């Protein structure tokens, strides 16, 4: 008999802010998730078009599949790319990662993916506290993106960052300046800040400080931590977050440095869960 948990059985209590990663299909959301985690739990191949939302929280345990009624089921041998969308609301994962001491990450489906019912992310986005919107530099801020962003809750739009991904694909300084100028004009008043980033370069930087700085990731990371420090919802009593929050308030970002952002390794880097932790339920919605 398959073990089943119910989301409603999870006790309520203090929680971390929830950061939704959104944008068009193949805009770099999963690459961004892997960069923030310093690990690579999510597939980033362009063929991975049928992924449900993935909610990643701090802790240990195997991934769980949440059905539309809130029931939670062990993933078993199925990979994330093999999950059936017709009976899956989202995937819940737990990991040990510094960024997860400050927030939960929710990697959302592409807003224009023809294989994905838009209602899936419309329902889940109500639970988010902050949104990072990824837009591809070579086709940045399409009409479909503007329409989807406009449908977000007003409180969420007040805490939004625009990340211009694959910025290295623009061939000249003139092209890069023109794209940024257009985005600032077309999105005026919509986002707290706009950051151009080459995510793959940031992932590959390893311990090379010059490559990390050239990727554009550092200013974005600093802004994100600063926003999380002011958005901490009910996480003030969480001892694991206090050193990170103190560092953020001091203007430092000690946990995201080239040495801590390693290239993909092909699997999760986390401790082996205990039997009790295997049955745990990630961040309650």
The two structure tokens encoding residue 94: 């737990």
Which H or E run contains 106? strand 104-107
Question: Which pLDDT score is estimated for 194?
Answer: 98
Q: How far apart are CA 181 and CA 13, in angstroms?
A: 43
Distances (CA, A) of 179 to 67, 185, 224, 238: 41, 10, 22, 41
- pLDDT tens, per residue, the chain with 285 residues: 344 444 433 434 567 899 999 999 889 998 899 899 987 767 665 444 567 889 999 999 889 999 988 899 888 666 776 777 778 888 999 999 989 989 999 999 888 665 666 676 778 899 999 999 999 999 999 999 999 999 999 999 999 999 999 999 999 999 999 999 999 999 999 999 999 999 999 999 988 899 999 999 999 999 999 999 888 654 444 555 555 555 545 555 544 543 343 333 333 333 333 333 333 333 333
Residue 189 is classified by DSSP as T
Domain with residue 219: its CATH number is 3.40.50.300
Q: Which domain holds residue 164?
A: 18-251
Specify if 282 maps to a domain.
Answer: no
Specify if 273 maps to a domain.
Answer: no
Specify if 113 maps to a domain.
Answer: yes
Q: How far apart are CA 147 and CA 111, in angstroms?
A: 10
The two structure tokens encoding residue 184: 């600032």
Specify if 280 maps to a domain.
Answer: no
Specify if 51 maps to a domain.
Answer: yes
Q: How many domains does the chain have?
A: 1
Q: Measured between alpha carbons, how far apart are the two ends of the chain, in Å?
A: 26
Specify if 4 maps to a domain.
Answer: no
Specify if 127 maps to a domain.
Answer: yes
Specify if 163 maps to a domain.
Answer: yes
Question: Which pLDDT score is estimated for 242?
Answer: 55
Q: How far apart are CA 69 and CA 135, in angstroms?
A: 32
């Amino acid at each position: 008999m398959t073990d089943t948990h119910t989301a409603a059985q999870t006790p309520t209590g203090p929680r971390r802010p929830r950061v939704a990663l959104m944008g068009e299909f193949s805009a770099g959301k999963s690459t961004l998730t892997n960069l923030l985690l310093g690990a690579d739990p999510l597939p980033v191949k362009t063929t991975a078009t049928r992924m449900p939302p993935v909610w990643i929280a701090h802790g240990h345990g195997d991934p769980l599949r949440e059905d539309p009624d809130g029931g939670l089921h062990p993933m078993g041998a199925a990979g994330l790319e093999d999950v059936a969308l017709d009976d899956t609301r989202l995937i819940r994962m737990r990991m040990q990662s510094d960024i997860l001491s400050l927030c939960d990450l929710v990697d959302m489906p592409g807003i224009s993916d023809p294989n994905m019912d838009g209602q899936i992310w419309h329902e889940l986005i109500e639970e988010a506290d902050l949104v990072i919107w990824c837009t591809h530099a070579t086709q940045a801020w399409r009409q479909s993106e503007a329409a989807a962003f406009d449908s977000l809750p007003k409180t969420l739009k007040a805490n939004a960052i625009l990340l211009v991904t694959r910025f290295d694909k623009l061939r000249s300084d003139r092209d890069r300046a023109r794209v940024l100028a257009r985005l600032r004009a077309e999105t005026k008043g919509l986002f707290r800040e706009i950051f151009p980033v080459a995510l793959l370069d940031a992932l590959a930087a390893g311990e090379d400080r010059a490559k990390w700085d050239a990727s554009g990731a550092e200013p974005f990371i600093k802004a994100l931590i600063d926003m999380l420090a002011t958005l901490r919802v009910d996480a003030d009593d969480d001892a694991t977050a206090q050193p990170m929050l103190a560092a953020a308030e001091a203007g430092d970002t000690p946990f995201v440095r080239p040495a801590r952002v390693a290239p993909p390794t092909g699997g999760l880097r986390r401790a082996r869960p205990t039997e009790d932790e295997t049955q745990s339920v990630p961040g309650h919605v």
